[in-house]
Amino acid sequence: MDYGCIGEHLPHSFSKEIHEKIGAYPYELKELTPQEVPAFMTRKAFSGINVTIPYKQTVIPFLDVISPEAEAIGAVNTVVNRNGRLYGYNTDFTGMCQLLARMGLEPKGKKILILGSGGTSRTADAVLRALHADEVIKVGRTRKQGVITYEDALRLHTDADLIVNTTPCGMYPDLFAQPIGLDRFTRLTGVLDAVYNPLRTRLVSEALRRNLKAQGGLYMLVAQAVAAFEILTDEKAPEGKSEQIFTELYSEKQNIVLIGMPGSGKSTVGSLLAQRLGRPFVDTDDLIVQIAGSDIPTIFERQGEAVFRRLEKEVIASVSARSGCIIATGGGAVLDPDNIAALKMNGRVSFLDRPLELLLPTADRPLASTREAIEQRYRERYSLYCAAADDIIKVESDPSVPAEEILRSHQR
């Protein structure tokens, strides 16, 4: 191949999309088993490649030259073939430096925990030491040379200023995993998570709820790719290219999630948004009906609300893992905080706030089939909708008006 990325499992890699946004050159994803890597590297049938998990160290013995930064880190993520000689570099260093700067996090003089002890952990260690962190402590599942356990971290180092997650914990498809809780960290000011899929891991979400500076790894991925492009092609990327691509990609990957009362227009507005953006439209109530094989009133009547809520939670967990979708939720989805947490991993949540007097009871909504029921649900849920929403969108008559407002907020 000409240019591309090698790794063991790449079905959800963003690298091809990013490189296609950087420059007009062929770029492919190539999955290799560990047994296939030596032959691939020996053949040298490529102009330049990026290298991802788990081969950032595996490729090193096949290189003729390795940059001082990559050698110090002990990991390579970019290899260039120059007249049959292979040169190895590590652009993750650049990517992490740029992400820290973008977040406004200054490691100098700080105590920092790095979760994980693999290749990305070594990159983080090199970056933080280069930026004059006062103390850098690696945390892993088992205690070994230079690595403490998570139990040690929670017992001895809850005064850390910054946590950097370099493990795959919380990465698709294991979206609901979290490497460490933040309850006991009293001085924490920021969390950097190298995971980029989902856009916002549970770790990042918890940090944001605590009003800490926190971000996932997508910007780091983009910035290292731009740095790799410059090495691979010997060309300088335009100023601001990383920020431009990050903004575009984040918007493309982020779901638009609609919450609100029954009858607030979620399905209508969602369909309009799907048409405008050319995106899939997902109605969680429709999926529940498909799974259950019966309509919602029948589920309530024969199996009860508890069964419906369990199905709803399973469906929301599943659709939350998707990206680039328009998702309309049932009116009671906000009753379970886990639903909102899941939807926000890859989504921006808009509350369609339709005035109570415009909400009409209908027989197909078991908890909103009468005027009295509608009013009671409104009183019970309104504060939950507001608390869950990234945007509160007023809805009255023309559904195109809230659709346009959501588009504007999503593109900011």
Question: For the chain, which domains are there?
Answer: 3-90+230-241 (3.40.50.10860), 94-216 (3.40.50.720), 254-410 (3.40.50.300)
Which DSSP string corresponds to 380-412?
HHHHHHHHH-SEEEE-SS-THHHHHHHHHHHT-
Encoding tokens for residue 379? 């009183």
Compute the radius of gyration of the chain from its Cα atoms: 24
Is-contact 144 121, C-beta < 8 A?
Answer: no
**List of residues 6+ apart from 87 with CB closer than 8 A:** 63, 64, 65, 66, 67, 79, 80
Cα 114 to Cα 127: distance, rounded to the nearest angstrom: 11
Question: Around Cβ 125, how many Cβ atoms within 10 Å?
Answer: 23
Q: How far is CA 259 from CA 262, 289, 363, in A?
A: 9, 18, 20
- Tokens 């063991």 appear where? 8
Q: In which residue are the tokens 């000409």 written?
A: 2
| Phi and psi torsions of 31, nearest 5° | -85, 130
- Closest listed residue to residue 410, CA positions, set 315, 316, 269, 312: 269
Q: Which long-range contacts (CB under 8 A, 24 or more apart) does 322-325 make?
A: 322/255, 322/280, 322/282, 322/346, 323/197, 323/198, 323/199, 323/253, 323/254, 323/255, 324/252, 324/253, 324/254, 324/255, 324/279, 324/280, 325/255, 325/256, 325/279, 325/280, 325/281, 325/282
What's the confidence (pLDDT) of residue 412? 67
Per-residue pLDDT of the chain (412 residues; tens, 9 = 90+): 899 999 999 988 899 999 999 987 899 999 999 999 999 999 999 999 999 988 999 999 999 999 998 999 999 999 999 999 999 999 999 999 999 999 999 999 999 999 998 888 999 999 999 999 999 999 999 999 899 999 999 999 999 999 999 999 999 888 899 999 999 999 999 999 999 999 999 999 999 999 999 999 999 999 999 999 999 999 999 999 999 999 999 999 999 999 999 999 999 999 999 999 999 999 999 999 999 999 999 999 999 999 999 999 999 999 999 999 999 999 999 999 999 999 999 999 999 999 999 999 988 888 999 999 999 999 999 999 999 999 999 999 899 999 999 998 877 6
Catalytic residue among 56, 138, 241, 344: 56
Taking the alpha carbons of 162, 168, 172, 174 in that order, is the dihedral positive or negative? negative
Q: Are strands 78-82 and 85-89 parallel, antiparallel or unpaired?
A: antiparallel
**Both tokens of residue 363?**
């027989």
To the query of whether residue 56 is one of the catalytic residues in this protein, the response is yes
Task: For 329-348, give the DSSP string.
Answer: --TTGGGSHHHHHHHHHSEE
Rounded-to-10 torsion of CA 244, 31, 57, 113: 50
Q: What is the pLDDT of residue 255?
A: 97
Distance from the Cα of residue 308 to its chain's centroid:
28
**How much is the pLDDT for 364?**
85
Q: Quick one: tokens of 223?
A: 């910035």
Q: Which of 5, 53, 56, 57 is nearest to 26 (CA)?
A: 5
Please tell me the distance from the alpha carbon of residue 174 to that of residue 321, in angstroms, as a whole number: 9
**pLDDT at residue 252, as a whole number:** 95
